[in-house]
Amino acid sequence: MILENLNIVKAHVRESCEVSRRDPESVRIISVTKTQPAETIREVYSCGMRDVGENKAQELRDKSTELQLPGINWHFIGHLQSNKVKYVVPVAEFIHSVDSLKIATDIDSFANKIGKIQNILLEVNLADEASKFGLRDFDSVQKLAESVNLLPNIKLCGLMTMAPYTMDEYILRKCFADLRHFSDSLNNSGFGLKELSMGMTNDYRIAIEEGATMIRIGTAIFGERNYNY
């Protein structure tokens, strides 16, 4: 089932890239393995997937320890607390969810201890939903980006957002386009941001058309989550 689902996602990626005249290789599919056991991650890895996203710090620590798979790239995509930085920084290629100078400084400090330059993205709450984390406006994003750029063990690579859960294409497209405009504005000010992490199972095709370079896919690959894990 996973291989079949993955092939469908890849076909949709190609179609959306064709619409937006992009190279499909410019879109990184991140398999979101929240609540998935290690054997399921092994299966998706055997299907050729190398990018794996986790929402919880301890799960990332435990799964990355158990699954010493060549070439696997771990992404931390959930909200990160300061006391969990020690679980994430040693293994995450990217941390997608930085939304404060405090957490950025904590990441930088731990990365310095282990001799690592940590790739991060700033999380932006363009859905304006109280239940979501993230920066709320461009001024806040710009201010944090400027501060983060001064931290020696952090590399700011891009921006991340979660769109509202809706079938309204206009709302989704505006959310993703706004994040792209934020990135463009920062780059016009001298930032070299290359990554836009946006798009999930229900909206990744629109996200790609609006410039996503990373899409975070769980249900479309694995089916409905098993919360008993």
The pLDDT of residue 229 is 45
Task: Tell me the backbone φ, ψ of residue 112, rounded to 5 degrees.
Answer: -65, -40
Which structure tokens are listed for 171?
């709302």
What are the CB-based long-range contacts (under 8 Å, 24+) for 100-104?
100/144, 101/144, 101/147, 101/148, 104/144, 104/147, 104/148, 104/151, 104/154
How many helices (H) and strands (E) the chain has is answered by 9, 8
DSSP annotation string for 2-49: HHHHHHHHHHHHHHHHHHTT--GGG-EEEEE-TT--HHHHHHHHHTT-
- Domain range annotation of the chain: 2-222
Q: What is the pLDDT along the chain (229 residues), one digit of tens a residue?
A: 999 999 999 999 999 999 999 999 999 999 999 989 999 999 999 999 999 999 999 999 999 999 999 999 999 999 999 999 999 999 999 999 999 999 999 999 999 999 999 999 999 999 877 678 899 999 999 999 999 999 999 999 999 999 998 999 999 999 999 999 999 999 999 999 999 999 999 999 999 999 999 999 999 999 876 655 4
DSSP annotation string for 132-179: S-SB-SHHHHHHHHHHHTT-TTEEEEEEEE---S-S-HHHHHHHHHHH
The pLDDT of residue 228 is 52
User: Looking at residue 66, what DSSP letter applies?
Assistant: H
> What is 2-222's CATH number?
3.20.20.10
The pLDDT of residue 225 is 64
The pLDDT of residue 224 is 79
In one letter, which amino acid is 36?
Q
How far is it, in rounded angstroms, from Cα 45 to Cα 105? 33
Q: What is the CA radius of gyration of the chain?
A: 17
pTM (predicted TM-score): 0.95
For the chain, the 3-state helix, strand and coil shares in percent, each to the nearest 5, are 45, 20, 35
The pLDDT of residue 129 is 73
